[in-house]
Every structure is written in structure tokens, then in C-alpha cells.
Structure 1
Amino acid sequence: MDAEQSLSPSTGRRALAAGALSAFAGAVAVVATALVRHPVALPVALVLLFVAVAAAWSALVHRSSTRVLASVTAVAALAGIVLLLGLRSFVVIAVVLGLVVVSSAAARAAIGRDLAPTPRSRAVPPARHGVLLMNPRSGGGKVVRFGLEDKARRVGVTPVVLRPGDDLRALAEQAVAAGADVLGMAGGDGSQALVADVARRHDVAFVCVPAGTRNHFALDLGLDRDDVAAALDAFGDAVERRVDLAQLGDRVFVNNVSLGVYATVVQSEDYRDAKLATTAQQLPDLLGPGAERVDLRFAGPDGSAAGPADVVLVSNGVYRFTSLNGFGTRERLDAGVLGVVTVAVDRASDVPTLIAAEVAGRISGFRGYQEWTAPQLEIDSGQPLVDVGVDGEALRFPPPLRFRSLPGALRVRTPVDAPGTTPAALTPARAGNVIKALFHVLAGRPARGRTTPGG
């Protein structure tokens, strides 16, 4: 009975499950009522919305007078939606969105960690000689803003701050040669990958300090990206586990490699400072009428030659994608596989649908979307150099590009009190599974439906 009670959700979580289901039901009821009251206007408004999306895309991939005409069409379609539905309808939309947000937040809290896989880990003692390398330019200066150098010294960790012209790999190798048994990196994901590679080559434990801009690797390690200094606790009593790395040729990456349209856009020197403007400027040449696809040749999931693709993403582990912007998160980092995602766009008809799927967070439902896993992958090309984005860094590699997974290659230490769970592991991928999990919690059972440890 005690084991059963320990698995049972608390009263608070059951109340949150009830709130999540009620808010979701309320959103459905509001939408149903609006359809009854406006059986013609709403479908017409959806058609206008599709026209607006298609016209906006046309404006992006064309130039000169065609771009102006498409922009005017998009604005006119949006104006038509306002006139057709009236301002009251936008209040209804706001209410629906509010109910969905409330339902989502309550659902996540209600489900808790019931669905998250439990990684194999072990408790480890404090580092005997911990070294933390720091890039003061990463993340807009997080190393200085969070006082990481002084805080590292206070907990007995040797800080090494990169100066202009320093070789990060050489500094990491020097730290290991000097006796470091735990090697840490405070910086972006590209720097994390480089130092992690040194750590795995010497079988030295690694600490990730999220001092970069997005810190995707830290997110999927279950670290709190907002509390940068808290990651230093991993040099003390900590939890250690093995995670995968991946390689493109001899270069290790911790997150993903992008090829195709996105990789070409990020090669621009203006991209980091003006992402939207740079994308709009280059899209006509990449996806506009007459544009040629990037020459990428590879085998699909069945081993046969895959069709042409406009976007290819190869990741360290499997991402749960809702859109192509931001890349999503991974449920686990120890599956020992590469995740492969390809997107092929028919310029004549698919682009508006792709944009709608991207905006709705349902990119996996787009007909040109395909994903699979593999321990290794080779991508060839007739180009002398292929544009790639490796953990967000724009590079060029000669083909063929050879990718492989490195299962369990890295010993990672995380603080004992770190969150420890990624967003992808906390909630099911499908709405139906979320509702099922909430009903389990509401009934006093874990989200997976078990009532006993062996059930």
C-alpha cells in the first residue's frame, strides 16, 4: 500500500489535471459556439488566412513588382478577415488562446515527471581538480554578468578565461595534462562540443555551464538555463551519467547539423545581426521561381536513394520537432542513434502549407517532412564545398559528409538538485496522449497509468 501511495499523484496535481481538462473543454466549447453562430464566416476567414499566408510567402520569394503585389494581397486578405469576423471575434480568439495556455501550463504541472525516462546515473564525489574554461563573449557576456570566474574560485575550481586568439582545444588539453579530473565549459554549444570532445578522448568527466545564447545542450541535460551559476555545483557532490555525442568527419557536435536552405542562409555575415532581413533577402534565390536545390545525395530510411530535399537536419539523438525554428528538444541523450529529418518543398504548391504547418507547430504533419534514425549517415554532393550549420556555427565541408553516433561517449556531471528533465520528456507528443495522461492523474494514478511499481 505504501508503494502504491508513493506513486499516486498528490491532491494538488489531481486538481491541476481537472483544471487542465476543464480549460481545454472550455476552449473547445467556445470554438463550437462560434462555429454555430458564424457557420459561413469562419470557413471563409480560414480561406482568407490561407491566402494571406500564401501571399506573404510569395512576397518573400519574389522580387520587385511581384513582391509588392503579393504584399498588398496579404494585407488585403488580413483586412478581409477583420471585416468579416468583426472585432468581437478577436476577443473570442484571445479567450480561446488564453484557455489553451492555461490548459497547457496546468497539464504540464499535473503530469509532472511521470512520463520522463529515468537515465542511468550514479552519485559522484567532488572533483579533485576541476577546471572551468570560459568564453567571456558568449551569450552577450554571461561569464562576466554572472561572476563565474570569482564563483568558480570560491568553490575550488580553476577558471581559465579565453582571450582573443586563444585556442580553446589546446587550453582544454593543457588542463587535462595538468591533472584535471573534471573539465567544464561556460559558453555556447559550439564551445561545449569542442571541450566535450577533449573530455571524451581522455575519459574525463564534463560539466556544462549554460553561458551561451540558446544553450540547447544544457536544456536537454536537464539544467536550469536561467540560473547559470548553479551549474557550478556539478563540480561538488554531483550526479554523473553517460550521454551520446555525434561526429561530422572528425568534428564532434552535441546538438545538430543543418544542411540546405537554412545552412546557406546562416553563412551570411549579416545573419546574426539581422536574421529576418537576411532571410528575406536570400529566400528568392533559394526557394523562388527557378531556384535550384542544393545538391545533397543520401540514402533514405529504407536504404534506397532519397529524393531531393531543401532542408536536412542530422542530430545527436532524436529531436521532437514542432517547427524548424529552434529545433525542439530531445527526450533522451543516450539512445545511441542519429536523428535525421528532411523537408522537401514543391515550390508551386507546398510552400503555403509548409508555412501554415510551421506557424501551427505541426511541421511533422507537412507532406514533404520525413524523419528516421540511423547509427551513421553519409551525404554526398557535386559541390566542392557544402554549407553546413554545426551547433549553430556556419561552416563549409568537402563532400562526402560522414556522420556517426558516438554512444555513451561522454561522462557528464550535473548538480544533484538540477531539474534533470527535458521539456520533450515531460509531456506526450500527441494531444490525445496528453488527455489520456490527465485522466489517469485525475483518477489518482500516475500519468502512465501504473498503480504499483510493477504495474
Structure 2
Amino acid sequence: MLVNPAGGQRGAHRAAETVLAHLAAAGWDAEPVAGADTAGTLALARDRVAAGVDVLAVVGGDGMVHLGLQAVAGTRVPLAVVPAGTGNDFARALGIPRGDPAAAARLVTHGTPRAVDLARVGERWIGTVVACGFDALVTDRANRLRWPRGGSRYTLAVLVELTRLRPLPFRIRLDGGEVPEVELDATLVAVGNTAYYGGGMRVCPDADPYDGELAVTVVEGAGALRLPTILPRLYNGSHLSHPRVRTYRARRIELASAGVFAYADGEFVGDLPIVVEAVPQAVEVLLPG
């Protein structure tokens, strides 16, 4: 069971205690794993997976799920997720109970394994959305803020980044889709394996983690005055009807823009250009039956 190496998250620690109590009652042996840092935790998780375990359980938010995916993707070991973070968007997309650690804990022992697609950038496995442009800047800003806590950090980060906003020139190449290449000025580009990011924003409403493809959402050339009229619509998916929003589908997407970086699952991925690929049935996840 992976727990946050940074510590200090009381909700995650309480959820971990709930999982351990459930596993003990069910007669399972469980080993909490937390290294000194993220790299150390991942190394320990990979060692346990290689040695042979029945399940790798992850207690935390999307960042911890991202860490767990690096250890189990491409193996026969299923992933169980106990949401205990700020966004929990991977769990949201797959119907894993949020706000109920006991219900999520029962999936460790009684969940139904299902093969789920992932996205991949280089050697990095991604469960939710690869974001670049405004949304990546917001995530980067929010990760560096120490106040306020919770979802309010993202609200403050949005307000700060809006004051610095400008559309950026992107080149987007799409393999396996109807449109092979797009060049345009964009404020936001998101490539989704699943629909949600940012704590419930349906940025890629058509993303389906079982269809072997990725969904791409592009907000074209919206500046600081226009973008705030689009952002609230991300929560219900109605932004797709906005004239500044374009959508595409592809199995492989190349994103290029000078001086732009990408985030995925709330974690820094790297500077553009990057290639995002769909990997069908890359991981087994224990889900409600």
C-alpha cells in the first residue's frame, strides 16, 4: 500500500488506517510503503511488484495514483485506489467511491479487475489528462502555493495566471485521427485519457479509458477577457459548444510550442515538444462490480 512520502496529509493517513483495518479483518497481509521522497517510494513499489504481490493499493490523490501507475502499468498486478487527495479525478472517472475510504478499501479485496487504457509520454504512464498552456501554468502555480489549502489554491492560481495570460502558437500533429495536423494560437491544450482534471473539470468530456484513443480539447486564442467565460463551462462539459473550442481524437498526438511545458495527473511531465500515445488496456484497476 503506497502512502504519501511527504506526510502531513491527515485525511490520507486516516484513509490508510481504514484500509489497514479492513485488510486485517479480511485476513490479508498489508505492507505500507513510503520512501524518503517520490523516487524512493516508486523504487520500493517497483521492488514489491517485481517480488510478487496480489494488489498494489494507493492511498491519496491523483499524484499518488500517478506514482502507482509507474509501478504496475504493463504488469499483471492490479491497482486499487483509495481517494484521499484534492482532485481525485482518476477515481472520479472510473466510478471509484470518493469521500468513503471504507467503501474504497473494500475494492482492494472485492473489486472487479478491469483493463483500463493509459496515456504515455516517453516512459511516463498517465491516467487522466496531459495539459499544457494555461491549465499547466495553473497547476504549476497551485503546486507552489502554500496557502490556501484544498481547491481554493486552484482558484487563486487561476486568478494569478489570468493576469499573465496570452495565446501561444501550437503545432499539433494527430495520428489515427481525421485531421493530421493543426497550427493555431491556443490558450489551452488538453489531451485526455479520461474526462476530468482539476478536481472535476470535464475538460475532455468525450474521453473514454476503454476505447484505445485519446481526446484532445483546444481553446483557441482566448485572452484574459474571454477565457473566464469558458472556464466555468468546463465543469459540465458545455464548453464544447463554444466557438473558440476545438476537439479532436487520435491515438498519437505530438504537441509543440516554444517555451511551454506540460503537466499530467497534476505532476510535471516536461517541456514541449512531447508525444502523447494511447496504450490500450495498459493496467488492471479494481473497480466496483
The TM-score normalised by the length of structure 2 is: 0.81
Q: CA 1:357/1:406 → structure 2, altered by over 3 Å: closer, same or farther?
A: closer
For the Cα contact (< 8 Å) 1:357–1:366, is it kept in 2? no
Q: CA shift at 1:306, angstroms? A: 2.8
Aligned equivalent of 2:56: 183
Q: CA 1:308/1:242 → structure 2, altered by over 3 Å: closer, same or farther?
A: same
Name whichever structure is richer in helix by fraction.
1
Aligned equivalent of 1:149: 20
Matched, 1:281 2:164: no
Name which of 149, 168, 183 aligns with 1:294: 168
Q: CA 1:381/1:272 → structure 2, altered by over 3 Å: closer, same or farther?
A: farther
For the Cα contact (< 8 Å) 1:257–1:391, is it kept in 2? yes
Report sequence identity in percent.
Answer: 28
Aligned equivalent of 1:312: 189
Q: CA 1:139/1:154 → structure 2, altered by over 3 Å: closer, same or farther?
A: farther
Name which of 120, 123, 133 aligns with 2:2: 133
Q: CA shift at 1:351, angstroms? A: 4.7
Matched, 1:270 2:122: no
For the Cα contact (< 8 Å) 1:245–1:407, is it kept in 2? yes
Distance in 2, Cα, partners of 1:353 & 1:247: 32
Distance in 2, Cα, partners of 1:230 & 1:330: 27
Matched, 1:334 2:237: no
Q: CA 1:295/1:332 → structure 2, altered by over 3 Å: closer, same or farther?
A: closer
Q: CA 1:193/1:325 → structure 2, altered by over 3 Å: closer, same or farther?
A: closer
Q: CA 1:370/1:320 → structure 2, altered by over 3 Å: closer, same or farther?
A: farther
Q: CA shift at 1:229, angstroms? A: 2.5
**Residue type of the alignment partner of 1:169:** L
Distance in 2, Cα, partners of 1:308 & 1:226: 39
For the Cα contact (< 8 Å) 1:152–1:159, is it kept in 2? no
Distance in 2, Cα, partners of 1:222 & 1:275: 23
Name whichever structure is richer in strand by fraction.
2
List gaps (5 residues or longer) in structure 2. Answer: none
Name which of 74, 82, 85 aligns with 1:212: 85
Q: CA shift at 1:360, angstroms? A: 8.3
Aligned equivalent of 1:392: 266
Partner SS, residue 327 of structure 1: coil
Aligned equivalent of 2:100: 227
**Residue type of the alignment partner of 1:200:** A
Q: CA shift at 1:316, angstroms? A: 0.8
**Residue type of the alignment partner of 1:373:** R
Moved more, 363-372 or 195-204: 195-204
Distance in 2, Cα, partners of 1:346 & 1:334: 32
Per-residue CA deviation, residues 282-306 of structure 1 (Å, 9 max, x unaligned), is 322214xxxxx33432136511333
**Residue type of the alignment partner of 1:160:** P
**Residue type of the alignment partner of 1:285:** R
For the Cα contact (< 8 Å) 1:143–1:149, is it kept in 2? no
Q: CA 1:173/1:310 → structure 2, altered by over 3 Å: closer, same or farther?
A: same
Q: CA 1:209/1:330 → structure 2, altered by over 3 Å: closer, same or farther?
A: farther
Aligned equivalent of 1:428: none
Partner SS, residue 180 of structure 1: coil
Partner SS, residue 149 of structure 1: helix
Matched, 1:162 2:34: yes
Aligned equivalent of 1:372: 248
Q: CA shift at 1:184, angstroms? A: 1.6
**Residue type of the alignment partner of 2:189:** V
List gaps (5 residues or longer) in structure 1. Answer: 1-131, 288-292, 417-455
Q: CA 1:370/1:200 → structure 2, altered by over 3 Å: closer, same or farther?
A: same
For the Cα contact (< 8 Å) 2:5–2:37, is it kept in 1? no
Q: CA shift at 1:164, angstroms? A: 3.5
The TM-score normalised by the length of structure 1 is: 0.54
Instruction: Give the number of the structure whose alpha-carbon radius of gyration is greater.
Output: 1
Partner SS, residue 307 of structure 1: strand
CA RMSD of the aligned region, Å?
Answer: 3.0
Q: CA shift at 1:331, angstroms? A: 7.2
Q: CA shift at 1:330, angstroms? A: 6.4
Distance in 2, Cα, partners of 1:281 & 1:220: 28
Q: CA 1:356/1:398 → structure 2, altered by over 3 Å: closer, same or farther?
A: closer
Q: CA shift at 1:214, angstroms? A: 2.0
| Number of aligned positions between the proteins | 274
Q: CA shift at 1:313, angstroms? A: 0.4
For the Cα contact (< 8 Å) 1:271–1:278, is it kept in 2? no
Pairing of 1:37-116 with structure 2 (within 5 A): none
Q: CA shift at 1:382, angstroms? A: 2.9
Name which of 70, 91, 114 aligns with 1:241: 114
Distance in 2, Cα, partners of 1:364 & 1:251: 28
